[in-house]
Amino acid sequence: MTTGTSTEITAEQTAREQALVDEVAASFEKAANPRLKQLLQSLVRHLHAYVREVCLTQDEWETAIRFLTDAGHITDDKRQEFILLSDVLGISMQTIAVSNEAVGDATEATVFGPFFVEDAPHIEQGGDIGGGAPGTPCWVEGTVRDTMGTPLPGARIEVWEADDEGLYDVQHSDGRVYGRAHLYSDDQARFRFWALQPTPYPIPHDGPVGALLAAVGRSPMRAAHLHFMVTRPGHRTLVTHLFVEGDPQLETGDSVFGVKESLVKRFEPQKAGTPTPDGHALEGPWSRTKFDIVLVPERQS
Ligand code: BEZ
Ligand code: FE
């Protein structure tokens, strides 16, 4: 039985461990797909190195297997515990960083999250993505251009967000659709719509990933945000968020490491009675923000 504490390793021991790593890596040598071969061989080398570095015990190995089994049991077509695990380990954000290389002043990408839905309602310019969700109205306006400065009309802009209780429509079990919509940038590459002032909320934490966060004293809270996905033929698809300047959760930390300084924007609070940009009558307070989106042309990405 190993103890998990590293002692002097003999040359014989090192040779045995290395022989096993090499044997496993070699077992993928004949893979027809060279990329699959690279992915598996590298994975094996890194995992074996990890086992040696931490001197993984049999008990710890069993705990890890139990954790993954529990993650599998709670996963279905609505709940994806493995993506959540990837998110809280920063793997999702690292993959996004690697596959969205920085180009000029292109808008930074961040996590997709589990609450996007295809076929969200279409709204016209100035429409309301809230769709009746409770929350403080927020006017969002901006432009879409590429990294060369060319305005991009006709970009499809998907927007989605949680209500003021921190829940997405799909987390309610009554089939409601709110807090999501899509629109297109206009002839002058501008867009404007009503949304809700974003509020902080926790990632789903009633499963094994939540237990892991609790065990290490980490909060499941995400910084307040508004999700965007912007697509336009010939351009790299952008999946990103708008974060709220002054949100205390920005200081405490975002549970999935999604915050980028460049995505933190000022949301200006407006007193009740302040005239709205589109003349829309509102009874209570509201807020407004600006988000200029910069896409990468595919030939540059
Ligand atoms: C979200 O933004 O909604 C989210 C992102 C990652 C994990 C869970 C939720
Ligand atoms: Fe979200």
pLDDT digit string (tens) for 136-155?
999 999 999 999 999 999 99
pTM of the model: 0.92
Residues within 6 Å of ligand 1 by CB: 84, 87, 111, 113-115, 203, 222, 256
Residue type, 121: P
Rounded to the nearest 5°, which phi and psi values hold at 142? 180, -165
| Distance between Cα 114 and ligand 1 center (Å) | 6
Span 292-301, mean pLDDT? 89
Task: Please state, in angstroms and rounded to a whole number, the distance separating the CA atoms of residues 234 and 296.
Answer: 9
Q: pLDDT, tens digit, for every residue of 3-39?
A: 555 568 999 999 999 999 999 999 999 999 999 999 9
Q: pLDDT, tens digit, for every residue of 214-243?
A: 999 999 999 999 999 999 999 999 999 999
What domains can you pick out in the chain, each with its CATH number?
Answer: 11-83 (no CATH), 91-300 (2.60.130.10)
Burial 247-273 (b: 16+ CB within 10 A, else e): bebbeeebbbbbbbeebbbebeebeee
Is the Cβ–Cβ distance between 88 and 255 less than 8 Å? yes
- The protein residue with its alpha carbon nearest to ligand 1, atom 4, reads 113
Is the Cβ–Cβ distance between 160 and 217 less than 8 Å? no
Nearest atom of ligand 1 to the alpha carbon of 168:
3
- The protein residue with its alpha carbon nearest to ligand 1, atom 8, reads 203
